[in-house]
Amino acid sequence: MGYYYDLWDDFISLLFPRICYGCGNHLMRNENLICTECYVSIPRTNYHLKADNPAARLFWGRCMVERVAAFSFYTRDSRIRKLIHQLKYKGVRQVGFELGRIYALSLRESRFLDGMDLIIPVPLHPSRKRKRGFNQSEMISCGISDVTGLTVDTTSLIRTNVTKTQTKKSRYDRWTNVEGIFKVTESDKLKDKHILLVDDVITTGSTLEACTNELLKIENVKVSVAVLAFSVI
């Protein structure tokens, strides 16, 4: 049965080759969305192993976050950049889920997630979500949840205004651009909780800072941050 199944599988992949979203090469039978070469070449930051790290320092003197981690460095020609591009602009939501799963395995092993109660993906404005069809941070969160069992909460924190694209803005402009645009809808649900905020890429940290400041208004709340990529562009 296995033999014929494999033959059939090979025949199908001849007709419909499965392609790696990082490099475009054909995937082997045991690979899923991302080939082994891309997987091992992801430039991991390992920030989850060190409390004092460059991503955590972005928040110093700005807002109180417990722990900050980033899966990979985001560089101009890194494969993680291609993968995130597939997720955000080509609509390949499974890539977000898979990267979330891969990252969660490291996070869980390092005990970074110890004491955390739930995951909140950074909300996308509803009109942008409608246009894209999904929130990429939610896909990453679902991957993390799949490994850890932590619940993903997409309703307690919402985005209220459309923001213009953040590229080519100074740090100050970016900050004023996001200040006050997030709103907590159900503070009772989040009271006494340690929340893991999840986003795709961190650049200045201003969006995550705005979310954190809003969440910290809730009684006895703690916030930690995990992102897929730390931008060094």
Positions touching Zn ion (CB under 5 A) are: 20, 22-23, 35, 38
Maximum C-alpha span of the chain: 63
Query: 38 or 197: whose CB is closer to Zn ion?
Result: 38
Under 8 Å between Cβ of 209 and 63: yes
Least distance between Zn ion and beta carbon 72 (Å): 14
The nearest distance, CB 37 to Zn ion, in angstroms, is 5
Helix (H) / strand (E) element for 222: namely strand 222-231
**What is the number of alpha carbons within 13 Å of residue 150 lying toward its C-beta?**
31
Is the CB of 48 or the CB of 82 nearer to Zn ion?
Answer: 82
Single-letter amino acid, residue 53: N
Please identify which residue in the block is written with the tokens 């092993």.
Answer: 109
Task: Name the residue nearer to Zn ion (CB basis): 102 or 221.
Answer: 102
Q: How far apart are CA 114 and CA 187, in angstroms?
A: 22
Please give the Cα distance from 87 to 119 (Å, whole number): 19
User: Rounded to the nearest 10 degrees, how much is the dihedral formed by the CA atoms of 124, 126, 127, 133?
Assistant: 80
CB nearer to Zn ion: pick between 35 and 150: 35
Residue with tokens 């100074």: 170
Please give the Cα distance from 217 to 213 (Å, whole number). 7
In terms of Cβ atoms closer than 10 Å to its own Cβ (0-12, 13-18, 19+), residue 175 is middle
Pick between residue 22 and residue 121 the one whose CB is nearest to Zn ion.
22
Token pair 């997987």 is found at 39
- Nearer to Zn ion among residue 24 and residue 115 (C-beta): 24
Least Cβ distance, residue 88 to Zn ion (angstroms): 18
The nearest distance, CB 105 to Zn ion, in angstroms, is: 19
For the CB of residue 87, give the shortest distance to Zn ion in the complex, in Å: 15
Give the shortest CB-170-to-Zn ion separation in angstroms: 36
